[in-house]
Every structure is written in C-alpha cells, then in structure tokens.
Copies of this chain bind each other. A is one copy, B any other.
Amino acid sequence: MQPYVLINGQPADQIGIADRGLAYGHGLFETLPIIDGMPIFYAEHLQRLLLGCKRLGIPSDRLSYQLERDLQQLEPITGPAVLKIILTCGSGGRGYLTPDPAAPQRILILSPMPEYPGSPERGVRVRWCQTQLACQPLLSGIKHLNRLEQVLARNEWRDPDIREGLVCDTRGFVVEGTMSNLCFIRGNRFCTPNLDQAGVEGIIRNQLLQLAPMLGLQIETGSYTPVDIEAADELLVCNSLIGIWPITRLESRDYALGEYTRRLQLALKQRMVQC
C-alpha cells in the first residue's frame, strides 16, 4: 500500500512553501487507525482538532463537513491503515499576523499501519528522557505542529529495544511519553499526570479515564515526580496507534504486566470495535 494523500479533497502530495504550517507550525494534526474501513474514535479526534482550531485562531466552521467529504473520497481501504490529518492555517498574513480571512489547508495521508515488532502489547522497556517540556498553558492539551521538544526527547536514544521515553516538564513533574500518554495504577487508583502546563490530551488516555471506574478503579489526575511513577504497581503508555503498551521495564526496574492493565487492554479493544 502506497501512502495516499488528499489536499483539500484533491489528490496531491506537496504544499506551497508559504504555508503557515511550514513557516510557523501554525496548524494541528491527528493520527488515527482505520480498521475495517472505519476511522477509530473519529468523533474524539475531530473534537480535539476543533478545540485546537479555537486556540490557534484557525477558522473551522466548515471543517467537520469538509473532513466528512474527504473521508468518503479516500479509496476503499483493505487491512488496517493509519490516517494522519494535518490542518494548517493556510498561507498569507503579514508575518505572524494571521490573514483575515484565513484559508486553512486540509492534508489527509493514508499509510499502512506501522509494524511494532516483538509483541509490545505484552510489555515494553522505556527510559527517562533528559529533555524537559516547557510549561505553556496556551498550547498544552492540543496536538499542534510545534513538536521540537518531542523531536529532541525522542532523539536521546536509538536503541530499538527501548520503545518509549518518559518526559518531565521544567518543574520536574512527569508529563507523558514522547509519543504517548503515561498512566499508572497504585493500589486501587488509576493515575495520570494532569496536562494543564504541557503535553497532549490523548484520545486513548481519555478513554481509559472513562473505562477505569468500570473496573473499580478510582481516577486521579495530579502532579507526579519520577519517584511517584517508579513506585507504581502497574505502568502503561498509550496512544491511538499503539493502544496500551504495558511498561515492564523502566530503566533498570522491572514491573509486572498487571491485572488492571490487562483488563484495560481488553475493555479498550471492545470499545474500539463499538465506536
């Protein structure tokens, strides 16, 4: 399967060099799996995209309708695939000042589902990153195109056996993984860092916050240090493509693939096919 690209509903694979997505990262993106022709948790991804538009001043009145039409145009998909939606603020404006009206660009990229060797759903090895995320409430939560901090963090290691790196903010509180959210279980509590200062509010993280109480877990979001994380009973990272990867090794410390994590994996899988 070759990547298949639609730009504003037309087959194309290039954008103009004056686009504000390239010039300033003035845009957003979403990455979601397509299974049996269905984009998984599409409504939730759209909602985050619309929230991002509001924060970044990107007009979105017709976005939901336009994306619906784009999705219909994608060729029938056999087998699991990944859809990346990039929305930029379009080109023009006087420097950083957004043009009025702005003409956003929609880029849809359909690619084969990446292969994750070695059964990571049964446990992965992760590390701590030294790169710290800046505290910026204006940009936290949304999935914008300014991702240099993630690039720096992810480039701290090349060992393919280490599947993810955990990142703190500049205050020293743990935020997330470079490409995933971090959740953990301690006693009967399902915990995940709050994301008011940094980090992306992941779709799967939000699903787990809904599912955990059904398994008898209490929900807790808070500010956690690396010591808090290391003291967890069960640790996991999650995102829309990987689902849930249990952390079975963090640096030199081993963790069991716990019962709650297993049940969350199962519950998430059930919800994905229902959505």
Contact = CB atoms under 8 A, between A and B. Distances in A.
A16 B3 CA distance: 12
A86 B25 CA distance: 13
A42 to B, nearest CB: 21
B57 A23 contact: no
Interface string A138-182: 110000111111111111001000000000001000000011000
Given A14-B14, A146-B146, A56 B151 contact: yes
A154 B107 contact: no
A22 B96 contact: no
Contacts of A155: 57, 96-98
A89 B148 CA distance: 11
B24 A145 contact: yes
A135 interface: yes
Nearest to A145: B25
Contacts of A16: 13-14
A7 B23 CA distance: 15
Interface-centre pick from A135, A148, A149 (highest chain B CB count, 10 A) = A148
A146 B20 CA distance: 11
A43 interface: no
Contacts of A144: 148
Contacts of A29: 23
Contact of A22 (B3, B22, B94, B95): B22
Interface in A124-148: 131-132, 134-136, 138-139, 144-148
Interface of A: 3, 5, 7, 13-26, 29, 56-57, 86, 88, 94-98, 100, 107, 109, 114, 131-132, 134-136, 138-139, 144-155, 158, 170, 178-179
